[in-house]
Amino acid sequence: MKLKNSTKIIRQFSSVLILVFCWAGTYAQSQNIKGTVLDNENQAIAGVNVIVKGIPGRGTTTDANGKFSINVDNENNILVFSFIGFTTKEIVAGNKTDLNVRLEYDSKALGEVVIVGYGAQKKANLTAAVDQVSAKALENRAMPNLT
């Protein structure tokens, strides 16, 4: 009877040990990629979307200095860099740990964007009335006194 219990315990322990090794192997394949996103004039671009293609919810944005950090599962993952007014760029992660990306201006896409009080939207998705206000119209406007 004691022999059966000890054999059962050894089997359970072995199963747990195998699961731990499988998990550790999977975790070890993950890598962190850090880098900077620049424009044509070597200026950092803040707010660039950096996502891992095909993995929902795996993404980040660049900080004020154009820097980002993202984890990828393996070297076959594709990083997608996108920002309004720039062409989207896709880069295979490979075995890179440091990545500098240069985005090109896209004048066609910029003409389709409208800046509204609650964000930026494409003209096709805009559902509200839009008007253009010049600087001269704002200069001639009476300023109320808060006191």
Given the structure tokens 């992660």, which residue do they identify? 93
Q: Percent of the chain at pLDDT above 90?
A: 35
Whole-structure pTM value: 0.58
Chain-centre distance for alpha carbon 132: 32
Confidence grade of residue 1 (pLDDT, cut at 50, 70, 90): very low
| DSSP β-bridge partners for residue 38 | 44, 102
Looking at every residue in the chain, the average pLDDT score rounds to 76
For position 44, what pLDDT does the model report?
93
pLDDT band (50, 70, 90) for residue 2: low
Beta bridge partners of 31: 72
- Please give the class, per CATH, of domain 2-125: mainly beta
As a whole number of angstroms, the distance between CA 139 and CA 61 comes to 36
Confidence of residue 106 (pLDDT cuts 50, 70, 90): confident
Q: Is the CA virtual torsion 42, 45, 48, 50 positive or negative?
A: positive
SS3 label, residue 60: strand
At residue 28, φ and ψ (nearest 5 deg) are -65, -25
Contact 78, 54 (CB under 8 A): yes
Q: What is the rounded CA–CA span in Å between residue 47 and residue 87?
A: 14
Confidence of residue 135 (pLDDT cuts 50, 70, 90): low
